[in-house]
Amino acid sequence: MLVDRVCIITNYNLYESKRYFSQKFGEALKRKGIETFLIDAEERTLGADVIGAIQAFKPSLTCSFNSLLPISERRYLWDFLEIPHISFLVDPALYSVDLTRSPYSILTCVDRSDLEAIQSYQFENIFFWPHAIERDLLADFDNERTYEVVFFGSCYDYESLRVSWRQQNPELLNKVLDDAIDLVFSDPKMSLAQALVTAWNATGLNPEGIDFTTLFYYLDNYTRGRDRVELISSIHDAKVHVFGELSRDNAVGVLGWSQYLAKKNNVVLHPSVTYKEHLTILKQAKVTLNSMPFFKEGSHERVLNGLACGAVPVTTENQFFRETFIDGQDLFYYFMNRKDEVDAKVQLLLRDEPQRRQIARQGKEKVMKSFTWDHRVDELLKNVDPL
């Protein structure tokens, strides 16, 4: 398949990260001599004028980091255009299983266990395509940095969510969720989906009729909410600046950062910032925290951006990142059930500024060797061709 014209469709998402990804990915495509057409839906439905413009452009394929809803029952835009569409998934892939129904769908995922999960649906038009950063993201590693520790992200009210599902579900499902949560926190290699399947299989019951998508949602939101709170709370002395508000994904969520971190006098709360703004803050930070229990075999932009901006990440134990980044040399990992070790790692970085800068420099060098959008374009062309 010759890819010489690509249409990128983008839209709003929280913190506007996907608009930013679309822009930087498009710039990398152009550097490869590929003509691009960027469409920003601006929170509107794609109308006939936009569809006509896409047809006039005659792209080899369309693509998007944003989720696009069907334009009619089970028919997507790309089914109507009869042009392959790549959905770049940057969230757990099980939320996007419906996309496998389209013969024109190609999916990418940022976690290798997600790749296996989607392939189990007998869908083969998918490949692993991790996060990336722009190759010209620069930072002054020797400047004085304002923030000791930063965290960017929403607060997920995991306690209210658990109270809600325990009131609605039969005790059997509550036990399955409790067991799955324990597995996620105790096993650094077990994905959310694997934990849910393992916990269900232990019941020995027939899974027919069970709404596993909703159970997965509960497991995902609970573990990400709890892990974030525990990670931030594990730091006792250093000033931790938290940028974000209460997540609106959870209808029963009422408790935000101010409630969960009320006893942490070393935590400073800030409103959420845009993706561009967070890069500016990272360039003024010494350490950045990253919690990602949903990707144990994959990537996250918070780690890559932190290193590129000169802030050393302390991130969830991760099998994929360990293949590139060495613990204590390029960044620091933490185990979800051993957060009592996090504070010492942070103190080590803050006590020795020359060493902290050296770790950040080494990490950034590896990021630039393997994790730029230019690398991703090369991988895209290689993987799309046989599809």
pLDDT category at 345 given cuts 50, 70, 90 is: very high
**Lateral strand order in the sheet of 267-270:** 267-270, 240-243, 147-152, 285-290, 312-316, 332-334
Domain count within the chain: 2
The percentage of residues in the chain with a pLDDT greater than 70, rounded to a whole number, is: 100
Is the domain of 160 the same as that of 46? no
pLDDT category at 250 given cuts 50, 70, 90 is: confident
User: What does each C-alpha distance from 280 to 23, 206, 265, 313 come to in angstroms?
Assistant: 18, 52, 25, 16
CA distance linking residue 221 with residue 213, whole number of Å = 12
- pLDDT, position 201: 96
**53-63: average pLDDT:** 97
Is the domain of 242 the same as that of 361? yes
**336-359: average pLDDT:** 98
pLDDT of 5 higher than 90: yes
Is the domain of 163 the same as that of 300? yes
Question: Residue 188's closest CA among 330, 341, 312?
Answer: 341
pTM of the model: 0.96
CA distance linking residue 222 with residue 291, whole number of Å = 13
Is 181 a member of any domain? no
Per the listing, tokens 């070393």 go with: 266
CA distance linking residue 311 with residue 147, whole number of Å = 10
pLDDT of 44 higher than 90: no
Is 284 a member of any domain? yes
Is 199 a member of any domain? no
pLDDT of 14 higher than 90: no
Is the domain of 325 the same as that of 294? yes
pLDDT of 386 higher than 90: no
SS3 250: coil
Per the listing, tokens 């189990």 go with: 120
**Which residues pair with residue 36 across a beta bridge?**
6
Phi, psi (deg, nearest 5) at residue 150: -130, 150
Is 141 a member of any domain? no
**55-59: average pLDDT:** 97
Question: Residue 258's closest CA among 248, 247, 268?
Answer: 268
Is 193 a member of any domain? no
Is the domain of 232 the same as that of 88? no
| pLDDT tens profile 66-113 | 999 898 888 999 999 999 999 999 999 999 999 999 999 999 999 999
Is 140 a member of any domain? no
pLDDT category at 45 given cuts 50, 70, 90 is: confident
pLDDT category at 43 given cuts 50, 70, 90 is: confident
Per the listing, tokens 């931030």 go with: 232
For residue 109, the domain's CATH number is: 3.40.50.2000
Is the domain of 223 the same as that of 250? yes
pLDDT category at 241 given cuts 50, 70, 90 is: very high
Is the domain of 216 the same as that of 287? yes
Q: Write out the residue range of the structural domain in which residue 247 sits.
A: 147-170+211-370
- pLDDT, position 17: 96
pLDDT of 292 higher than 90: yes
pLDDT of 163 higher than 90: yes
**259-274: average pLDDT:** 98
